[in-house]
Chain A
């Protein structure tokens, strides 16, 4: 679906959207060996206009984004020396620099420890308050229900379920999506999903 929206795959349908720019982040993106964090982010400014040097304005923008994703003190470090969570934050910073207002993220919290998962999702949640819409593919149901606003699910019969808020998470919905039995636990106003064998 991401590839259709971004135009990677041509279909008979025309996709209309109200967003000015789209940023799509795949899983485990490639980065060259030995590139520093600052240089990695600066790549995006060499896009269409043939210029040799970054302007002061663009350098300031990079510094600002780096401080937003908490990597300002690591800007001279090679990307391969960062942890998985930091690299993911760096890539989200790339999206911030691109000026896109729709982020399509393919499992941004995969392959990293729990704390980093929480940090990334928290950051994305804060971005939505600044007018950036994020569409995130998630496999962890509990994390999704904690940080998501609107939920979509594709059932085993290829029907699309859609619901705002945590009312989406009912045993019947989850059963039709995952073909497994789940129970919904509730404590202190928060709900949790647990599988039932």
Chain B
């Protein structure tokens, strides 16, 4: 009897948190779509302006949160970030190259390619002899610095294009050029891959020194999870560019709210990431109306109070 009671309590708390997130998700979805909608040509506005923005917010929020969850789970470190594998600088280099050498406006495609290539380089380098997370982090850090200095070199040697490049690099595309269909296709593929591999995260909750069947299994899955999270982060780069902080805060927030069962966290991360980004998108577009506040700033303003509140309330991570 007593056992049943505690179980119900735990379930209720998680259920309540989930409902709250779903409510925030749909409320901000509705606000993003229909707030200040002009009655005369609403179809065109919805189709060409608002739907793409909403899709981008949902896709990038969910992918960043999931990528953060995977990396935090395999490194057993709460500070792991989706851009750990040198992705941000790779994406930046792709963008800079596209602006300088191709005079192209397809920033996101170049950013996506750059991010994927850098991630592969980092994973390839850290997987040479024996794969370990520490090695991955250190190599990711070095590649980040290396590629970052190449970017600064390009910017400094091209003063006439320095301002637009810095603007694009400083986070978020103001007018993304990625196609929504391709984006949704990538997103769907990413989510399905995640769904297949998510239960394995439950195994990674155990200490990696505990050996029971074979040592090789765990190393294999570590690499698979790093690859998945690199893929997810690249999708988010393709969708809105480089956006920090979501990938750290959403996995931690859902860990506080939903405990540490990876199967629950999977849905929790999708919903919390996309809800946070939808809400931030709405505020960034309508906060000071004619102006657009940069998305990264709003994400921090919205996310930090939430996170600190739950951190203080729960007190454990």
B314's closest neighbor in chain A, by CB?
A34
- B residues less than 8 Å from A30 (CB atoms): 76, 206-208
| Chain A residues with CB below 8 A from B3, complex form | 73, 75-76
Chain A residue numbers with a CB within 8 Å of B214 are 7
Residues 1-48 (chain A) with a chain B CB within 8 angstroms: 6-8, 21-26, 29-36, 39-40, 42-44, 46-48
Interface footprint category on B: 20 to 34
- What is the number of contacts between chain A and chain B, taking CB atoms within 8 Å? 95
Interface 1/0s, chain A 75-107, versus B by CB < 8 A?
Answer: 110001000000000010011001010000000
Closest beta carbon of chain B to A175's beta carbon, Å: 34
B217 contacts A47, C-beta separation under 8 Å: yes
Given the interface pairs A21-B212, A34-B316, the reply to whether A50 lies near B199 with Cβ below 8 Å is yes
Q: Using known A-B contacts A40-B205, A50-B197, determine if residue A32 contacts B212 with beta carbons closer than 8 Å.
A: no
Q: Which A residue sits closest to B198, measured CB to CB?
A: A52
A24 touches B207 (CB 8 A): no
CA distance A7 to B214 in the complex (A): 8
A7 to B196, CA, bound (A): 28
Q: Does A51 contact B (CB under 8 A)?
A: yes
Instruction: Name the residue in B198, B200, B206 with the highest tally of chain A Cβ atoms < 10 Å from its Cβ.
Output: B206
User: A residues 46-65 with Cβ under 8 Å of B?
Assistant: 46-48, 50-52
Q: Are B213 and A47 in contact (CB under 8 A)?
A: yes
Residue of B nearest to A22 (CB): B211
Contact A43 B203 (CB under 8 A): yes
List A contacts of B210 (CB < 8 A): 23-26, 29, 91, 94
B175 within 8 A of A: no
What residues of chain B have their CB less than 8 Å away from a CB belonging to chain A? 3, 6-7, 10, 76, 196-203, 205-215, 217, 255, 259-261, 263, 316-317
**Can you report 15 A-B residue pairs in the complex whose CB atoms are below 8 A from each other?**
A23-B211, A29-B209, A30-B76, A32-B260, A34-B316, A35-B205, A39-B260, A39-B261, A46-B200, A47-B217, A48-B217, A50-B196, A50-B200, A73-B3, A94-B210
